[in-house]
Amino acid sequence: MSLIQCQGLSKLYGSKKALNDVNFSLEAGAPIALVGPNGAGKTTLFSLLCGYMSPSAGTITLLGEAPNSPKLLGKIAALPQDAVLDPNLTIVSQLSFFARLQGMGVEQARQEAIRVLTLVDLADVAEQKPPSLSHGMSKRVSIAQTLIGSPELVLLDEPTAGLDPANAKKVRELVKALSPTTTFMISSHNLDELEKLCDQVLYLDKGQLSQAVSMHASTDSDYLTLTMQTCDSEVLQAEVAKLAGVVNVSSKQSKVFIIQLATDAEKAQNSDIEMRLFTLFNQHQWQYKMLLKGRTLEETLFS
Amino acid sequence: MTNNPPSSFNNMLIIAMFELRKFLFNTRGIIALVAFGLVWGVLLLYPIQSASAMLLQPNVKDVIDSLFGANTLNVLFEWPVAEMAVFWCFALYLFPLFSILIAADQFSSDKTRGTLRFLTLRTSRDSLLFGRFLGQILIQGLLILLTIIATVALALSRDSQLFLPALTSGALVGLNLIIVILPYTAVMTLLSLYARTARQAMVFATILWTVISIAIMVLGSQSNVLAQLQWILPGAQLSDMLNTNGLNSLVYAPIPLIQTAAALLLGRMYMQRSSL
């Protein structure tokens, strides 16, 4: 059974098509990234998956059920963009209330609220009210509420937007740590972040699903991404292109080179390509910064 | 963690109790409760106490009969506890007003700031709608209970023999008042789903009652059949209920109960279809 399945999904706001005939099927497992420019339809897709609104056309199934099905209650959680908790009630009372709605007893619900707040390092603000928190802390509390009852699927809309780098890293580590039991679907503009976390990537553009790629697909082993510290870019491109097994060398950013390697039958020639590159750097006294197998998400999506 | 989500009914009760707790243990709720207590304290100590004393004067009935007609307020003099009779006159009109004020923010603020989105993945929209409605009834039920207890205490301070009649009378008044406020609360449930703020919901309520009252008045002047449309508006039966007593007041109960069912049905339809 697919985790999420969308068929012919469209959503109209008046005459504007926010989503246009989107089709995809996703399995449970590693985190899934949802990428796209502003206004691409990411939040609309999340809202449809959560059942906050109905599609204009098409069908959605989550764990084999339609959104809003009673069978999904407590199995799916979400961090909706811009949604905030009630400013008049303490954080722990609201999170305990959510846990109670998910079937926990009074004491168990309170313990669960403290547990999820501890996961985001905010157990000490449990008795405070939301207005006393900073934007970043509010975001982390909102992330904490998604973890109540360990749901099967968690949808996070821009989870690290507005967080400082240290807390953004903590959220990434949390997602990574919980990934074996919970599938996360994350929308973000931070491609580096998604690259570190996710395997499957959905790219939405103008309401259409333009790409669905796997970060670990076999085709990515046919690329190397090289970032240099010091080098003569033109000479490096020419010299690397001459190496056996290299099909093409391109550079769209200063000192970042994408090396395309020969595929399948000629793969044997690529086995020591890294060694030959290091030898070349040594000969020319070039300093490298990073050598990455495959391409960055940015390169994969926009090349 | 394996937890079976409670049934919609259980969640409805959890939500209703949370609403009550929210009101009682929240600064805004406590301020509202204090303001309510002050208003009713003043009403009980002055108009109700002095009017009750007047009702006990034998010649006052003649004055009232001559002012309003023989069968307009005559039943008030048949109440076993005078304080409860005067309380009834005030409460019948004041509690619906309180209802509009208190129940105006059942959904509007939560919907505007997106808080409802945290809830709909955990509970059905039905349990949310009916739970919050029930929560408002519990809050208002508590307020009604407090004022009735105060009225009983006022009556007992005059004559301690009145304990049993005051209690019986108070129970019937409480039941009638809860039935009276049901459609007001249900209409506010519906309006607060549509409004963006509590204030906007109250403005909608004012417009609704004014426009429908005028429309019914105009239509009623055209034909007697159209005049019956008055029964669609919550509170249409209040003036008739004023001159009733005890169990007889319950004769009017079907009207608010049907109005409540209709408003909640509309609210449910809106809730099911609306985007959050």
CA distance A27 to chain B (A): 21
Q: Would you state the pLDDT for residue A218?
A: 47
Question: Cα(B241)–Cα(A11) distance, rounded to whole angstroms?
Answer: 51
Residue A217: alpha-carbon gap to chain centroid: 16
Among B11, B125, B275, the residue with its CB nearest the CB of A101 is: B11
Indicate if the pLDDT at residue B1 is higher than 80: no
User: Are A146 and A78 a contacting pair, CB within 8 Å?
Assistant: yes
Residue range B94-146, pLDDT digits in tens: 999 999 999 999 999 999 999 999 999 999 999 999 999 999 999 999 999 99
Residue range B9-47, pLDDT digits in tens: 999 999 999 999 999 888 878 888 898 899 999 998 888
- Nearest CA-CA partner of B213 in B174, B246, B242, B239: B239
Mean pLDDT over all residues of chain B?
A: 90
Residue A289: alpha-carbon gap to chain centroid: 25
Among B15, B118, B273, the residue with its CB nearest the CB of A83 is: B118
Is B122's CB within 8 Å of A73's CB?
Answer: yes
Is A52's CB within 8 Å of B28's CB?
Answer: no
CA distance A73 to chain B (A): 5
Residue range A58-92, pLDDT digits in tens: 999 999 999 989 999 999 999 998 899 999 999 99
Is B3's CB within 8 Å of A102's CB?
Answer: yes
Indicate if the pLDDT at residue B148 is higher than 70: yes
Of B62 and B131, which is predicted with more confidence?
B131
What percentage of residues in chain A have a pLDDT greater than 90? 46
Cβ neighbours of residue B171 closer than 8 Å, sequence gap 6 or more: none
Put simply, whether B120 touches A (Cβ < 8 Å) is: yes
Q: Which residues of chain A lie closer than 8 angstroms to B32, CB-CB?
A: none
Virtual CA dihedral for A47, A50, A51, A54, nearest 10 degrees? 30
Q: How much is the average pLDDT of B145-166?
A: 91
Put simply, whether B17 touches A (Cβ < 8 Å) is: no
Q: Would you state the pLDDT for residue B72?
A: 67
A-B CB pairs within 8 A amount to 86
Two tokens at B232? 């669609």
Stretch 24-43 of chain B: residues touching chain A, C-beta under 8 Å: 26-28
Indicate if the pLDDT at residue A220 is higher than 60: no
Search chain A and give the residue with CA nearest B18: A97
Is A70's CB within 8 Å of B8's CB?
Answer: yes
Q: Which range marks the domain in which residue B202 is found?
A: 8-273
User: Are B178 and B140 a contacting pair, CB within 8 Å?
Assistant: yes
Strand-pair partners of A223: A260
Q: What is the tally of structural domains in chain B?
A: 1
- Asked if residue B113 is part of any domain, the answer here is yes
Q: Using 50, 70 and 90 to split pLDDT, how confident is the model at B4?
A: low
CA distance B19 to chain A (A): 11
Q: How much is the average pLDDT of A185-190?
A: 88
Indicate if the pLDDT at residue B68 is higher than 90: no
Indicate if the pLDDT at residue A219 is higher than 60: no
Q: Would you state the pLDDT for residue B195?
A: 95
Mean pLDDT over all residues of chain A?
A: 88
Cβ neighbours of residue A279 closer than 8 Å, sequence gap 6 or more: none
- Nearest CA-CA partner of B61 in B77, B78, B80: B77
Q: Would you state the pLDDT for residue A86?
A: 93
Is A70's CB within 8 Å of B119's CB?
Answer: no
Question: Cα(B71)–Cα(B33) distance, rounded to whole angstroms?
Answer: 37
Search chain B and give the residue with CA nearest A152: B1
Indicate if the pLDDT at residue A211 is higher than 90: no
Q: How much is the average pLDDT of A108-131?
A: 96
Two tokens at A180? 């074996």
The dihedral built from the CA positions of residue A117, A118, A120 and A123, taken in this order, carries a sign that is: positive
Is A85's CB within 8 Å of B115's CB?
Answer: yes
Search chain A and give the residue with CA nearest B24: A89
Is B8's CB within 8 Å of A74's CB?
Answer: no
Put simply, whether B227 touches A (Cβ < 8 Å) is: no
Is A52's CB within 8 Å of B276's CB?
Answer: yes
Residue range B231-270, pLDDT digits in tens: 999 999 998 898 888 888 899 999 999 999 999 999 999 9
- Asked if residue B3 is part of any domain, the answer here is no
For chain A, which domains are there?
Answer: 4-214 (3.40.50.300), 218-302 (3.30.70.100)
Residue B25: alpha-carbon gap to chain centroid: 22
- Asked if residue B105 is part of any domain, the answer here is yes
Of A246 and B187, which is predicted with more confidence?
B187
CA distance A24 to chain B (A): 22
- Asked if residue B1 is part of any domain, the answer here is no
Q: Would you state the pLDDT for residue B258?
A: 97
Q: Which residues of chain A lie closer than 8 angstroms to B20, CB-CB?
A: none
Is A101's CB within 8 Å of B113's CB?
Answer: no
Q: Which residues of chain A lie closer than 8 angstroms to B110, CB-CB?
A: 86
Indicate if the pLDDT at residue A270 is higher than 70: no
Residue range B192-245, pLDDT digits in tens: 999 999 999 999 999 999 999 999 989 888 888 888 888 999 999 998 898 888
CA distance B119 to chain A (A): 7
Indicate if the pLDDT at residue B2 is higher than 70: no
Is A80's CB within 8 Å of B117's CB?
Answer: yes
**Residues belonging to chain A with any Cβ–Cβ distance to chain B shorter than 8 Å:** 47, 50-54, 68, 70, 72-74, 76-78, 80, 82-89, 97-98, 100-104, 112, 145, 149-150
